[in-house]
Structure 1
């Protein structure tokens, strides 16, 4: 069904009049009548009761209303995600694991704006499995994740080795991770390793999904938590944080995954700055 028909239907619902709906969607009243008639013929049901007072929904019309709303919302979302912004030659959608945006993918994004300003970039955040599935379904052009799946037609490229270390903003007087420990959700890979090494912390006292918030909390309160070494290093060098001795470290290689046949298109222009950002990490 044409989304224009759904928009016209919703305009009649909102205004209660074919004439007012025509003004709303900027067409003639006869066009509105024709669109509603076409819609009713496609559905095989009457959607409005017509009278001199206007148009009111039938029982079928009320049921169809939520579907029309859903259709328009889906179309608007698709238009935002797929349409090429003015002034750009192409667009790419890139997904990255939560922990990889801070200090790495944000740096790559800035480099890409310099090296390939003609490419519009849309970004998504998620965990490895979900991002890999979006890539397979064609909803992503590039995924940067910890645990890629080997699939025909896709290239997997290692970028760098991520290391999560336990750091503290106060002297540790107990065995790690310590009483003021905050758990940062770095993804399923970290969850599995954390459960193995710290089975006693099944329910942490403080749980956070965003690493940037966790780091801010550490700098403002005496506490400890796991963070990528590349993020913690400047603060360790400044003496604002300290490594917790004896705590296990967790290593996760970061990979770029993309279709093999895409290296000659717009993606080829943003891969070099991605490799550059990885080399500087």
Structure 2
């Protein structure tokens, strides 16, 4: 059995069907079916109970799951070590959501490089589902995201107790006149719908994370953004809090490999991240370069 087949097996579990797995591994559904059939033939066991809509694991599938995950992780860790650049002791692969690079991870990178100059860094950006999949497959060592999943071998720890607050460029007008819906995920959608049932069809919806602040500043309006992100703009008077509007909790988490190749490196990565996170919340970071 090759690693591609093991990854396909894991993709079926994560996606819940062969169709979803095909999208995840970028092949056709028939290719996924052929790979799983070949795997079952090799093992002499049926791994999935197939229905029209979903695939459930058989007892044999449950047993094979942990071995497939271990195989993929071992392969990725091997590639990880072989790819360490000349002159460096190790490589740390770090990911983060778009809004968490802004005013957080971008400041962590130089702090970590100063603390661990012999460790190479690879940085990535994306949404939580892709980050968690990369963590589960062992192709990422640490990620900072808003909505993590708990998976074997991965530690999840709250990093920042952030809040989503409504801000406006013009406090003299009603926020409803030029409201922009910034989408911050499932939990936010539920809280927002309960608080503002009348704002179900806004003229503009953004899924740009912290980049949406630029649209707000350039074009005017009102929207929800993390308090940590808009604090410098509030201080400059470019944005204003909208009174009598609810504040929604929006914690950020750091997720990291429990058995990273070098515990010392991971400990330093986490300690410098904790320090930058504290500065981010208490106003200790420099002003954004565009201000």
TM-score, with structure 2 as normaliser: 0.62
Deviations, residues 65-97 of structure 1 (Å, cap 9, x unaligned): xxxxxxxxxxxxxx8997333433211211212
In the TM superposition, what are the counterparts of 1:82-101 in structure 2 within 5 Å? 83-101=83-101
Q: Is the 8 A contact 2:95 2:123 kept in 1?
A: yes
- Provide the C-alpha distance between the structure 2 equivalents of 1:213 and 1:133, rounded to a whole number of angstroms: 24
The answer as to whether partners of 1:141 and 1:258 remain within 8 angstroms in 2 is yes
2:152 is paired with a residue of what secondary structure? coil
Task: Tell me, yes or no, if structure 1 residue 195 matches structure 2 residue 193.
Answer: yes
Number of the residue aligned with 1:181: 179
- The runs of 4+ residues in structure 1 deviating greater than 4 Å are 79-82
Separation in 2, partners of 1:146, 1:183: 18
Using the TM superposition, give the Cα deviation of residue 166 of structure 1 relative to its aligned residue in structure 2, in angstroms: 0.6
- The within-5 A match list for 1:147-186 is 147-174=147-174, 177-186=175-184
TM-score by length of 1: 0.64
Partner of 1:104: 104
1: distance between equivalents of 2:173 and 2:81?
51
How many residues are treated as equivalent by the alignment? 202
User: Matches of 2:188 and 2:120 in 1, distance apart?
Assistant: 32
Contact 2:95 2:142 in 1 (8 A): yes
Which residue is 2:126 aligned to?
126
Name the residue aligned to 1:241: 239
**In 1, Cα distance between equivalents of 2:156 and 2:277:** 15
Contact 1:98/1:186, CA 8 A, preserved across alignment: no
- Alignment partners' CA distance in 1, 2:168 and 2:99: 19
SS at match of 1:117: coil
**Cα distance in 2 between the residues matched to 1:206 and 1:86:** 49
Give the structure 2 partner of residue 47 of structure 1.
none
Return closer, same or farther for 1:173/1:264 CA change in 2, 3 Å cut-off.
Answer: same
Equivalent-residue separation in structure 2 for 1:202 and 1:130 (angstroms): 28
CA distance in 2, matches of 1:106, 1:275: 14
Q: Distance in 2 between matches of 1:273 and 1:236?
A: 27
* Alignment-derived partner of residue 19 in structure 2: none
Select 1:257's aligned residue among 255, 258, 264: 255
Q: CA deviation at 1:192?
A: 3.4
Residue 104 of structure 1 and its aligned partner are, at CA, apart by 1.0
* C-alpha separation in 2, matches of 1:203 and 1:85: 51
Unaligned runs of 5+ in 2: 1-78, 281-291
Larger-Rg structure: 1
Q: CA, structure 1 residues 185+83, in 2 after alignment: closer, same or farther (shift >3 Å)?
A: farther
